Chain A
Amino acid sequence: MANSNNLSFSIDGVTCLAREGSTILDAARKNGVFIPTLCNLEGIPPKGACRVCSVKVNGKLLTACTTRIAQGMEVENDTPGLNNLRKAIVEMLFVEGNHLCPSCEKSGDCELQALAYRYTMTVPRYPYFYPKRAVDASHPKIVKDHNRCILCKRCVRAVKDEKGRSIFVFLNRGFETKIYIDPELAGKLTDELARKAVEVCPVGAIMPRGEGFKTPIGKRKYDKAPIGSDL
């Protein structure tokens, strides 16, 4: 029973099937329905930090990445209201940091940029904060550019040392929150973990040292087709 599609639910009125225990997000993907995500990444525990995957169930906003499907659940997803909310969140993330796409090495591979295109953001409706943030190049294998960080916690959740200790964490709280990197553990970062840290970052906030523009602009992930086109 556990492996069969034994729950029936609907997304925007279309009846779908899902395995018991799967999240709304997973179930939607399996049924070919796109729900945008930023902080979620397959293989690491969901956090519901970015809120961009918000859907409506019974009129209530819930994050698709953390909510499990229940029998008969009616999920609203691709509606003008929800898409405006998602666009608003993407715009908020743009004004919170300093996201200068034309000069960013991640351009074309960046999920934030890709979502901005998908939701046809031209200029954010909110004023820019232009915060003064540092680029931390003190670690041997990675460079942390706080300007581009959207605090999705992917690195926090995905990268741990062999004893399960954190290397990346949240420092401070509220608007002052930023990623703190354990100086000692980052100094001992294996090539494998360094690569993982770079890979999980949805934006260009964690970049590898000693290499750049490996894939030329124009040949990157979202250069040809918008994010979510695979669904």
Chain B
Amino acid sequence: MEESISSILEGHHHDPTRLMDILIDVQDETGFIGDQAVAQIADGVGLSVADVEQTRSFYHFFSKKPTGKYAIYLNTSVNACMMGHDAVARTFEVEAGIPCNSVTRDGLIGLFDTSCIGMSDQEPAAIINGKIFPNLTPFRVKELIRDIREGKSVDELVVEGYGDGQNSNSDIRAVVNNNIRKIGPVLNPNYKPGEVIRKKLPEMTPQQVIDEMKRSNIRGRGGAGFPTGMKWEICRQAESDEKYIICNADEGEPGTFKDRVILTERPKLLLEGMVVAAYATGAQKGILYIRHEYKYLKTYLEKLIEGAHKRNLMGRDIAGIKGFDFDVRIQFGAGSYVCGEESALIESAEGKRGEPRDKPPFPVEKGYLDKPTVVNNVETFCSAVKVLLYGAEWYRSFGTTDSTGTKVLSISGDCRYPGIYEVEWGFSVNDICGMAGAEDVMAVQVGGPSGSLVSPSDFDRVLCYADLSTGGSLIIFNHSRDLLQDVVLNFTSFFIEESCGSCSTCRIMPVILRDKLIKILNARGVKQDITDMLSWAEVLKASRCGLGQTAANPIITSIHNFRHLYDQKTRGEARYDTGFDLNKATQEAMMATGKFVMSE
């Protein structure tokens, strides 16, 4: 082990800013990152053990203890739970003979929970040694454990054939499906990779590119909606010897999976967009930051970058433009939702804990390694290429005045056709339900857990930056769902799991709110508990980043839009209840002494 860690350190030039890559490689190669490995890494990159340990302990997929020869990470998202997670999880536990979050005594199988893995349209899904296993059933789980015990390799575990489109590519070979249901200008396959770099860029000055972007009125597709042209322009004007373009492909919002599909089906469009941004801003280096869950796309994407170099679409004097040099490297995350926040993503790419930075300064002034950095969403880069190809006028013909262009939506939940839909801004929630074949709809979660839980009375509201702004995650719930138990509690637990812990507000308040919610779900709540939740949640607004500021949104929006569900569970006119359940508290002792548990 010592030797393989040495060669990993060598491979990353003992560079402390590449600590993420070093830890990912050690985890992959040895199955864990124990004290000995941490000490060796610390020594190798010139950091203290504490420095390495703070990064290691931050990420979900870094483990201090061995994770088993077959490390199974089963998704616990709302979608997974709706589609049968509990039965699948129980079967895993029974067949493997261990509770979740442990490893069998022979070290063969490790079983772990994990937050949304970007497979919401094919849940329940698990990751086994980096490979995705979607559409799991208890039957399939039994097969998997049996095959693992028979010593089959992870590749041999696949019995269902590979997915549609490039999922069957020899460099991917994943059992994942794209489920593209509606193609618009961005996803349109009639596109010649490299055309904009070769034909448009040589004829345009960087400022002209920025002007075209500004005229198109395109705004960031990650959810915050910052005008892209303006972002590029600020970065262009920043004086620095080095600038960076970062693509944020860390989509972690439960219910979103559109970046996965774009990375699989339109990666050249995305890379071309990064090159365009580099030309406009004067950046020479790029980073494609991808969430760890999509690591199965690594070889495929690396080869595409290599190919771009061969075709002079990256590298030196790109497309014959003297002095236009640009190169992209891929940075994987290691399991952290908050790294989708741009400054946390930058910290992570520098090999640190994914804690958001204070702003200002914004990344365009002081970003990766303190250099001016543009961070844009996958979809933003893709759209930028089309803006240059067909012009700002054309782009503005889609969508609304305020929100131009299209949005790629990830639709999942209770509908006949979950998948990817590229629609113009201005679609209503009703349109979406109709399009996806959803009936008997009780609620739609627009924008993932950090968005809002919308009730039918608001289904005529439209998706745009001015009304329902969204990064594109839409989860549909029909009337068979218990919104508070299955949705609100799950989302709140998600925020607790994913908080970076730096702000007191986001570290503590979601836990306080979850306990209140559980009290209500246990039929111990009173009206005051609902009032308390609304007023207590206010402190979250003082958090540094969007995760903290929106962590109470599942509770707040469900109280506003589904108040009756709370009222049904609270104890009528009772004014006070401690929430203490004597029977429950003494249950264990009663069982041990053979006494009956009194029921109320």
Contact = CB atoms under 8 A, between A and B. Distances in A.
Interface in A88-139: 88-89, 92-93, 95-96, 125-127, 129
A25 interface: no
Interface stretch (B159-167, B201-209, B447-455, B539-547): B539-547
A176 B502 CA distance: 11
Interface stretch (B19-27, B42-50, B221-229): B42-50
A83 to B, nearest CB: 13
Interface residues of B, number: 38
B57 A171 contact: yes
Contacts of B51: 165-166, 169
Given A92-B504, A127-B515, A167-B48, A180 B499 contact: no
Interface stretch (B79-87, B141-149, B404-412, B505-513): B505-513
Nearest to A175: B511
Interface string A17-59: 0000000000000000000000000000011111110100000
B353 A170 contact: yes
A177 B507 contact: yes
Contacts of B360: 68
Contacts of B358: 46-48, 63, 66-67
A156 B254 CA distance: 33
A173 B348 CA distance: 14
Interface string B491-511: 000001111111111011101
B486 interface: no
B210 to A, nearest CB: 26
B566 interface: no
Nearest to A90: B504
A88 B504 contact: no
B396 to A, nearest CB: 30
Interface residues of A, number: 48
B477 interface: no
A150 to B, nearest CB: 7
A161 B507 contact: no
Contact of B48 (A50, A96, A127, A185): A185
Contacts of B195: none
B58 interface: yes
Contacts of B536: 88, 125-126
Contact of A89 (B48, B505, B515): B505
B402 interface: no
A50 B539 CA distance: 12
Contact of B54 (A48, A49, A169, A175): A169
B542 A176 contact: no
A88 B539 contact: yes
Interface in B519-542: 532, 536, 538-539, 541-542
Nearest to A51: B542
A85 B503 CA distance: 14
A61 B544 CA distance: 9
Most buried by B among A95, A173, A181, A183: A173
B501 A161 contact: no
Contacts of B171: none
Contact of A182 (B46, B50, B541): B50
Given A93-B504, A125-B536, A174 B497 contact: yes
B53 interface: yes
Interface in B102-129: none
B490 to A, nearest CB: 16
Given A169-B51, A182-B50, A174 B501 contact: yes
Nearest to A84: B538
A61 B54 contact: no
B539 A92 contact: yes
Nearest to A153: B502
A95 B511 CA distance: 11
Given A92-B512, A172-B58, A177-B507, A151 B501 contact: yes
B53 A169 contact: yes
B50 A180 contact: yes
A89 B48 CA distance: 33
Interface in A142-194: 150-151, 153, 161, 163, 165-177, 180-185
Given A85-B542, A92-B539, A180-B54, A173 B501 contact: yes
Given A54-B542, A167-B48, A167-B50, A173 B353 contact: yes
B504 A51 contact: yes
B512 A126 contact: yes
Contact of B496 (A93, A163, A171, A175): A175
Most buried by A among B48, B497, B499: B48
Contacts of B46: 163, 165
B538 to A, nearest CB: 7
A171 to B, nearest CB: 5
Contacts of A166: 47-48, 50-51, 54
Interface in B145-204: none
B538 A85 contact: yes
A48 B544 contact: yes
Given A50-B504, A173-B499, A89 B50 contact: no
A168 B499 CA distance: 20
Nearest to B42: A165
Contacts of A171: 53-54, 57
A174 B542 contact: no
A172 to B, nearest CB: 5
Contacts of A184: 48-49
Nearest to B55: A169
A165 B511 contact: no
A54 B505 CA distance: 11
A51 B548 CA distance: 12
Nearest to B58: A173
A68 B51 CA distance: 29
Contact of B500 (A169, A173, A181): A173
Nearest to B338: A173
Contacts of B53: 169, 171, 180, 182
A202 B351 CA distance: 29
B512 to A, nearest CB: 5
Given A151-B504, A166-B50, A174 B496 contact: yes
Contact of A176 (B501, B503, B539): B501
Interface in B27-57: 46-51, 53-54, 57
Interface in A172-220: 172-177, 180-185
A185 B50 contact: yes
A92 B46 CA distance: 38
A177 B500 CA distance: 8
A210 to B, nearest CB: 24
Given A51-B542, A61-B542, A88-B536, A175 B501 contact: yes
Top 5 closest A-B pairs, CB basis? A177-B501, A182-B50, A165-B48, A169-B54, A174-B499
10 contacts: A51-B544, A61-B541, A63-B542, A126-B512, A151-B501, A163-B46, A169-B51, A173-B500, A177-B507, A180-B54
Interface of B: 46-51, 53-54, 57-58, 336, 353, 358, 360, 496-505, 507-509, 511-512, 515, 532, 536, 538-539, 541-544
Given A170-B54, A174-B498, 15 more contacts: A49-B504, A51-B503, A89-B505, A92-B509, A125-B536, A129-B511, A150-B504, A166-B48, A166-B54, A170-B501, A173-B353, A174-B499, A177-B501, A180-B54, A182-B49
